[in-house]
Homo-oligomer: A and B are copies of this chain.
């Protein structure tokens, strides 16, 4: 079926591009990318270079380029670089004539494919067929099959190797490029700029067909290439298998040896055998993760596209963060934000809890960084980094945006006032624990985080004696247009939540594992009085309640006193369209206009609010929200469902699901900063909208609950969930829900739908 722009899908399992649009270079490079949670390789063309935003971004390679303000992941040299010359005309989408163009992203198996016929400026035709994938079997490897057929006799020259002149947005990340030439393999042995850590990109190839006239290795300062010249007859075909390994010393001991050995071994297997094993892993992924929608093919392929992007962005091989742009580019430093817990984690908790465990364990691994941040700012406990990389130290710079009107840098306070990140981490840990019951994790990892976050809150709250309440002062909520506010509803609710969970866990460990509690007390410096303090704060922290008349919760103290205008009116006050709307003097700060609505976010995360409150708040905040954040549509979709605004919910679902694919994200540049790439949280949000929104899935103490609100155009919706030791297959249609507990499950589980309840034994199916 035809999708928007020049896109289509055939089976609901792929995105196909019908024509090449040079204006969409940045976007399609992201959308057609391949990856495996270790590396991301943008869906660019093999003959492209830095100016076309080619990138291979690798996890755990944080490096601060000289003169840059922050560290980010390295974009390593491009091992797939391949240029084809037909009688000295370089094959290019920008010259000659391209026919039968086809570019596809195979979502089921993580394959990027391109097929076309090209007529050179001199009139010679060649047919090209390329396929590549980032292996799920061995995450270091990218395999490419590059096939071309001479449609006219001629001299064909291939320049292929490793291009180190890459797109690096904040400066050079390698201080040395040592070429490798061993046997038939070439590569670069690189040292990162800041720490001198080793990164290796190594490439090998096998050529089938034709006859190589000449062959030589060409090196320049940041390139190592091989040149092959063929004299081909018409219809003669060349098939190249190119295999690249990217390794680094933060992951393997001998990056060079490992990379060389892997490429050598992989070349022996060949593209097709490697691909088969890779596909099998993808099949395993989809067995649990697929969401099947019937009745709406577009929704079907959008769901899969977003699941795919969320999955390839997420490290499975180590306890590492999900970057806010995944591995699609260097923006946002390949680092975790609060999105990880609030937008991405749940999909993994309920489909691949082993990945979710890595993500929550990552927060435990980085506890020391959070401790250092708290201490640096005059607090104690754990204040998690707004932008969290390897160590958990704050990566977010004091000065991020630029005032485009004056050129002066802006001191935004994301790193020091957006304290909700710490309770958000607790939210993630508790959500994981609630769904999995993973006591071992809680005991050995989670609890320490919970306790340290509570201690941080102890150091952060202020007590108002005359009001007998605790307050949180000088905050920045998720709505980043309003810095320096007090008692932000989202932050205060989440902080209470975090303190309450810490009290529960403290009691549980004291009861079940007193010796571990002793150790935890040593590690965190808490004492048996601490949980009393946490409880006192949880009991007395000021919680802005829904107004008894209107049902609306005030976003922060004094919010209702701000100018009550709408985003379009405020937009007209911009002097420059690229202005940042927020701190210190942007157009939104003195108004009720929001970047994203904190209260809506709160309602999306927290249960227990009556529908009346959901509706009142949705209707109040939605028109005041600018949706300046890519996080905004999915959270609005989610709450719109709960608030009974089904049409709007679906509109926001589509917006969230197409932010990247249809390039609906308005802003690539904001306040002078490039913010492009895959919006990973929006991708995670699509799972939330479908499962928590349209299916109304919710975990309760006793079991799980559904409150379905299937979109009108959907005949049925099916997905699987792992929860409370059960793998469940769920199928919804407009009149019923079918839940199947798979035979292998260990426990019974209770399913609630409205007033109905079914107790499901392993192997049983219930229709409600």
Residues on A facing B (Cβ under 8 Å)? 378, 403, 405-408, 410-411, 458-459, 462-466, 471, 473-474, 484, 533, 557-558, 575, 583-585, 589-590
13 contacts between A and B (CB under 8 A): A378-B557, A378-B558, A405-B405, A405-B406, A406-B406, A411-B590, A462-B462, A462-B473, A463-B464, A465-B533, A473-B474, A474-B474, A584-B584
Contact A585 B403 (CB under 8 A): yes
**Contact residues in B for A403 (Cβ distance below 8 Å):** 585
Nearest B residue (CB) for A573: B408
Contact A585 B462 (CB under 8 A): no
Of A405, A464, A466, chain B has the most CB atoms within 10 Å of the CB of A466
Docked pose: A406 CA to B474 CA in angstroms: 27
Q: A410-B585, A462-B463 are in contact. List 9 more A-B contacts (CB 8 A).
A: A403-B585, A405-B405, A405-B406, A406-B406, A406-B575, A407-B575, A462-B473, A465-B533, A473-B474
The 8 A-B pairs with the shortest beta carbon distances in the complex, nearest first, are A584-B584, A462-B462, A463-B463, A405-B406, A584-B585, A463-B465, A473-B473, A458-B466
Nearest B residue (CB) for A465: B463
Nearest B residue (CB) for A464: B462
**Contact residues in B for A464 (Cβ distance below 8 Å):** 462-463
Docked pose: A589 CA to B585 CA in angstroms: 14
Nearest B residue (CB) for A398: B590
Docked pose: A585 CA to B557 CA in angstroms: 24
**Contact residues in B for A583 (Cβ distance below 8 Å):** 584
User: Within the complex, what minimum Cβ distance (angstroms) separates A236 from chain B?
Assistant: 65
**Contact residues in B for A484 (Cβ distance below 8 Å):** 474, 484
**Contact residues in B for A405 (Cβ distance below 8 Å):** 405-406
Nearest B residue (CB) for A473: B473
User: Within the complex, what minimum Cβ distance (angstroms) separates A589 from chain B?
Assistant: 8
Nearest B residue (CB) for A486: B474
Give the contacting residue for A471; candidates B462, B533, B575; CB below 8 A: B462
Contact B463 A408 (CB under 8 A): no
User: Within the complex, what minimum Cβ distance (angstroms) separates A539 from chain B?
Assistant: 13
**Contact residues in B for A584 (Cβ distance below 8 Å):** 583-585
Nearest B residue (CB) for A558: B378
**Contact residues in B for A463 (Cβ distance below 8 Å):** 462-465
**Contact residues in B for A558 (Cβ distance below 8 Å):** 378
Of A378, A465, A473, A533, chain B has the most CB atoms within 10 Å of the CB of A465
User: Within the complex, what minimum Cβ distance (angstroms) separates A403 from chain B?
Assistant: 6
Docked pose: A466 CA to B537 CA in angstroms: 12
**Contact residues in B for A585 (Cβ distance below 8 Å):** 403, 406, 408, 410-411, 584-585
**Contact residues in B for A589 (Cβ distance below 8 Å):** 411
Nearest B residue (CB) for A380: B466
**Contact residues in B for A474 (Cβ distance below 8 Å):** 473-474, 484
Docked pose: A760 CA to B405 CA in angstroms: 68
Nearest B residue (CB) for A590: B411
Docked pose: A590 CA to B397 CA in angstroms: 14
Nearest B residue (CB) for A583: B584
Docked pose: A462 CA to B473 CA in angstroms: 10
Docked pose: A533 CA to B403 CA in angstroms: 46
**Contact residues in B for A406 (Cβ distance below 8 Å):** 405-406, 575, 585
Docked pose: A405 CA to B405 CA in angstroms: 8
**Contact residues in B for A575 (Cβ distance below 8 Å):** 406-408
User: Within the complex, what minimum Cβ distance (angstroms) separates A81 from chain B?
Assistant: 44
**Contact residues in B for A465 (Cβ distance below 8 Å):** 463, 533
Nearest B residue (CB) for A459: B466
User: Within the complex, what minimum Cβ distance (angstroms) separates A758 from chain B?
Assistant: 49
Docked pose: A465 CA to B540 CA in angstroms: 13
User: Within the complex, what minimum Cβ distance (angstroms) separates A3 from chain B?
Assistant: 42
Docked pose: A463 CA to B463 CA in angstroms: 5
Docked pose: A506 CA to B589 CA in angstroms: 43
User: Within the complex, what minimum Cβ distance (angstroms) separates A418 from chain B?
Assistant: 16
**Contact residues in B for A590 (Cβ distance below 8 Å):** 411
**Contact residues in B for A533 (Cβ distance below 8 Å):** 465
User: Within the complex, what minimum Cβ distance (angstroms) separates A768 from chain B?
Assistant: 49
User: Within the complex, what minimum Cβ distance (angstroms) separates A230 from chain B?
Assistant: 60
**Contact residues in B for A462 (Cβ distance below 8 Å):** 462-464, 471, 473
User: Within the complex, what minimum Cβ distance (angstroms) separates A560 from chain B?
Assistant: 12
Docked pose: A466 CA to B458 CA in angstroms: 7
Nearest B residue (CB) for A585: B584
Docked pose: A410 CA to B403 CA in angstroms: 15
Nearest B residue (CB) for A406: B405
User: Within the complex, what minimum Cβ distance (angstroms) separates A69 from chain B?
Assistant: 14
Docked pose: A463 CA to B462 CA in angstroms: 6
Nearest B residue (CB) for A411: B590
Docked pose: A558 CA to B557 CA in angstroms: 25
User: Within the complex, what minimum Cβ distance (angstroms) separates A672 from chain B?
Assistant: 14
Nearest B residue (CB) for A408: B585
Docked pose: A462 CA to B468 CA in angstroms: 11
User: Within the complex, what minimum Cβ distance (angstroms) separates A492 from chain B?
Assistant: 15
Docked pose: A462 CA to B471 CA in angstroms: 9
**Contact residues in B for A473 (Cβ distance below 8 Å):** 462, 473-474
**Contact residues in B for A459 (Cβ distance below 8 Å):** 466
Of A406, A459, A583, chain B has the most CB atoms within 10 Å of the CB of A406
Docked pose: A432 CA to B104 CA in angstroms: 85
Nearest B residue (CB) for A376: B561
Docked pose: A407 CA to B406 CA in angstroms: 11
User: Within the complex, what minimum Cβ distance (angstroms) separates A499 from chain B?
Assistant: 14
Nearest B residue (CB) for A463: B463
Docked pose: A405 CA to B407 CA in angstroms: 10
**Contact residues in B for A410 (Cβ distance below 8 Å):** 585
Nearest B residue (CB) for A407: B575
Nearest B residue (CB) for A377: B558
User: Within the complex, what minimum Cβ distance (angstroms) separates A34 from chain B?
Assistant: 43
User: Within the complex, what minimum Cβ distance (angstroms) separates A601 from chain B?
Assistant: 25
Docked pose: A450 CA to B69 CA in angstroms: 50
Docked pose: A525 CA to B674 CA in angstroms: 57
Docked pose: A406 CA to B484 CA in angstroms: 23
Docked pose: A277 CA to B458 CA in angstroms: 70
**Contact residues in B for A557 (Cβ distance below 8 Å):** 378
Docked pose: A403 CA to B465 CA in angstroms: 39
Docked pose: A435 CA to B88 CA in angstroms: 99
Docked pose: A221 CA to B163 CA in angstroms: 82
**Contact residues in B for A378 (Cβ distance below 8 Å):** 557-558
Docked pose: A473 CA to B474 CA in angstroms: 9
**Contact residues in B for A408 (Cβ distance below 8 Å):** 575, 585
Docked pose: A565 CA to B458 CA in angstroms: 35
User: Within the complex, what minimum Cβ distance (angstroms) separates A495 from chain B?
Assistant: 15
**Contact residues in B for A407 (Cβ distance below 8 Å):** 575
User: Within the complex, what minimum Cβ distance (angstroms) separates A414 from chain B?
Assistant: 16
Docked pose: A30 CA to B599 CA in angstroms: 55
User: Within the complex, what minimum Cβ distance (angstroms) separates A592 from chain B?
Assistant: 15
Docked pose: A590 CA to B408 CA in angstroms: 13
Docked pose: A584 CA to B405 CA in angstroms: 14
